[in-house]
Structure 1
Amino acid sequence: MPRCANKGCQKEFDEADNAEGSCSYHPGGPVFHEGLKSWSCCNEVNKPVLEFDQFMALPTCTKGKHSQSPSAPSKPAPTKTETTHEPTISADGVETYGFSKLSTDSGPSEAPQQAVSSTSSVPAPAPKVEEEEEDDPSVQVREGTGCKRTGCGYKYVNEESRSGVCRYHPQGAIFHEGSKGYLCCKRRVLEFSEFLKIEGCKEGKHLFVGSKKDETKEEKVDCRLDHYQTPLQVHVSAFAKGADKEKSTVKFESQSLHLDLYLPSNKRVNKTLQLYGPIYPETCTYRILGTKVDIVLQKPSAISWPLLELPPPGTELPPGYALTFGVSGRTGTVGGKEIVLSPEELARRG
């Protein structure tokens, strides 16, 4: 049977039984702006979210008939801060984002640029390899439960489903100047529909329910992080609602951040971030608030960090990709200053 191409549906359907209202979908297109993700057709009803998994779970807003050729959503006009790169056409006819080399020429410019000297290099610690969660075979799985791993989409049918091969993306999605892809693999595309078709780059076991939880024991959980940077600081928000101010701690080292947050219902966030660049631990600060922990990391010099965390070995970022200098007090990564990279970073990208 054909598969519906409407965004948010993607179900197989019978053309002979395709009644009005049988398809629930998004007639608009995805909108990614300042780290927020939403649909253009219902962003007033379904508020923008930060996590890609939350975006994929946003409820559809329109009902109609299944279709194999959805109407193309209108494209928003580019903002002043956007730059255009020429796409290339792959062998299968898909436009793939083409990244240009970051220029390292030191020619004259209209406005004077402040020279930035790099500080003494601090050897980066080896990234911590975390074990991926696996299903507890004693936990029952309901039929139709989808695999939780990014990019898989397989649904549980019976016990044999557990032994199937899961192809997924172990790292998160990356959206930059119109291109879409995953940090764990190199392919970049322009169209969102093609992004959804990017096949997983790692094989493993499906994850339907995760490990069995013991209510009497402390539960280790993760928390969402948001961030922006100014020339000399990186502002991080760890969304951990109700963190105990007496027991929770945040510790800083030369290039790492340690979070130990005690949450209600016997939950705890205990994670270490290997930061992209060095910091001054003695001048970094944090505040534990009602819904989050605000953290200010002090950089030794005005150098832009492309990412908050140091990526795993072998990860290639698009040239020019960076967390640009932000505006204090705002969520996101949009600012008016040019990206300033260290001489070592410029040499690596040249």
Structure 2
Amino acid sequence: MARCTHKGCGKEYDAASNSDGDCKYHSGGPVFHEGLKSWSCCNETNKPVMEFDQFMAIPGCTTGKHTEKTQVAQPAQVPAAEAPAATTSTDGVETYGSTPAETPSVSMAPSKAPTPPPVVEEEDDLSLPVPEGAKCKRLGCGAEWQGPASRGDGPEAGCTYHPQKPVFHEGSKGYLCCKPRVLEFDQFLKIPGCKTGHHLFVGSKSQGEELVDCRVDHYQTPLEVHVSAYSKNADKDRSQVTFADQSLTLDLYLPNNKRVKKTVTLYGPVVPDQCKFRILGSKVDITLIKPVAASWPLLELPAAGTELPPGYALTFGVSGRTGTVGGKEVVLSVEEAAKQGR
């Protein structure tokens, strides 16, 4: 059967019975702005989201017939952001946004970056039922549940996917786990998975609890990283966040017997005894303290061998009269400086 090329659909269909209204899709293009993701055709009705899998799950806003024709996205209008006020420290480093009154000098002595621990990927608990119509949660797969054949040693159980997150930088699109970079969103959706395994339809349960993930967002200043772990109504008495030299661990108890257990290997070192957290109604606010002023391209240290696009996410800490635009020198982490031979 043919596969529909409408954005947000992608279903197989029988051309002989293709009727008006069978297809629900997005007539506009994707909008990526300041970490938020939405569709230009319905961003007033469907709120922008942070995570890529949430973006892919936004339901289509237009109905029509399925098609095999190549779709051309309408250009999306991205709102212009006001430039934040610039401040200059005593050593001449110009930064943007709120910064501490004093910025310690940065030691650029090369040091070996820690190797992130091996990633333990979640697998389906084969004893748990799978609802009809469920789709594989792994990035780049999206296969639909076909009954017992989609599990274990079944003929449809094989999954080809991307184990790491997507990365969007200066128009290029790809995944952290593999090399291909493309410009068009349609081409990005067609980047083949770089790892094989089994489908993930429902996840697993541990000791009667359902282990779930939570959305983690962050922004940074030269000396701090502010992290938000979105976990609504976490139990304040039992939930905990612990800090180590270059990691943080979330252990959050949620309603309906759900629990978040997540360890993040941070991109750079922190000062554990100065880090802190607050459990609020809709999220956990976390403040990480860096030992020296530095810009982290990512919150989490990527797997060994991962190469980021040049200049990716270096959003502050630039010296020179013109600030970020046209600046002469960026304030890098020690690990990044060592990589670049500084």
Say yes or no: TM over 0.5.
yes
**Residue 144 of structure 1, CA deviation:** 4.0
Q: CA RMSD in A?
A: 2.9
1:301-338 deviation digits (Å, cap 9, x = unpaired)? 22110111111112111111125249xxxxxxxx9686
The answer to whether 1:309 aligns with 2:300 is yes
Any residues of structure 2 matched to 1:111-190 within 5 Å, and which?
A: 113=93, 117-118=106-107, 124-162=113-151, 163=154, 164-190=157-183
Whole-Å Cα distance in 2 between the matches of residues 257 and 271 of structure 1? Answer: 8
Task: Find the aligned partners of 2:49 and 2:60 in 1 and give their Cα distance.
Answer: 15
1:61 Cα deviation after fit: 0.5
Deviation at 1:217, TM superposition (A): 2.8
Equivalent residue, structure 2, for 1:29: 29
Counterpart of 1:345, as a letter, is E
Give the distance between the partners of 1:261 and 1:140, measured in 2 at CA.
Answer: 25
Q: Is the 8 A contact 1:319 1:349 kept in 2?
A: no
Aligned partners of 1:125 and 1:274 also within 8 Å: no
Q: Aligned-pair distance for 1:234?
A: 0.7
1:265 to 249, 252, 256: 256
1:206 aligns with 2:195: no
Residue number in structure 2 paired with 1:55: 55
**Where does residue 281 of structure 1 map in the other structure?**
272
Distance 1:157 1:307 in 2: 37
Q: In structure 2, how many angstroms separate the alpha carbons of the residues matched to 1:52 and 1:25?
A: 17
- Aligned equivalents of 2:172, 2:294: Cα separation in 1: 24
Instruction: Identify the match of residue 239 of structure 2 among 236, 248, 269.
Output: 248
1:227: how far off? 0.1
Q: Is the 8 A contact 2:113 2:335 kept in 1?
A: no
Q: How many residues align?
A: 310
Q: Which residue does 2:85 correspond to in 1?
A: none
Letter in 2 for 1:159: P
CA distance in 2, matches of 1:230, 1:152: 36
1:122: Cα distance to partner?
A: 6.6
TM-score, normalised with respect to structure 1: 0.79
- Mapped to 2, the partners of 1:169 and 1:284 lie a distance apart of 32
Render the CA deviation track for 1:56-109: whole Å, top value 9, x for unaligned. 11111111222222552232468889xxxxxxxxxxxxxxxxxxxxxxxxxxxx
Larger strand proportion of the pair? 2
Which residue of structure 2 aligns with residue 230 of structure 1? 221
**Closer/same/farther in 2, CA of residues 42 and 283 from structure 1, 3 Å limit:** same
> Which stretch shifts more, 188-197 or 113-122?
113-122
User: In the TM superposition, what are the counterparts of 1:57-76 in structure 2 within 5 Å?
Assistant: 57-76=57-76
Q: Is the alpha carbon distance of 1:145 and 1:270 closer, same or farther for their aligned partners in structure 2, counting shifts above 3 Å?
A: closer
Give how far 1:269 is off. 2.5
Q: 1:263 and 1:159, CA in 2 relative to 1: closer, same or farther beyond 3 A? A: closer
Cα distance in 2 for partners of 1:166, 1:40 equals: 31
CA drift at 1:236: 0.5
Within 2, Cα distance between the matches of 1:279 and 1:256? 8
What whole-Å deviation, never above 9, does each CA across 1:141-190 have from its counterpart, x for those lacking one? 45543222211122232423323321011111111121111111111111
Output the CA distance in 2 between the equivalents of 1:124 and 1:251.
21
1:31, 1:37 within 8 Å by CA — same for their partners in 2? Answer: yes
**1:301 & 1:255 partners in 2: Cα distance?**
14
2:275 corresponds to 1:290: no
Q: Distance in 2 between matches of 1:286 and 1:2?
A: 51
User: Which residue type is aligned with residue 332 of structure 2?
Assistant: L
Structure 1 pair 240–72 and aligned structure 2 pair: CA distance change class (3 A): same
5+ residue gaps, structure 1: 82-111, 327-334
Instruction: Give TM-score scaled by structure 2 length.
Output: 0.80
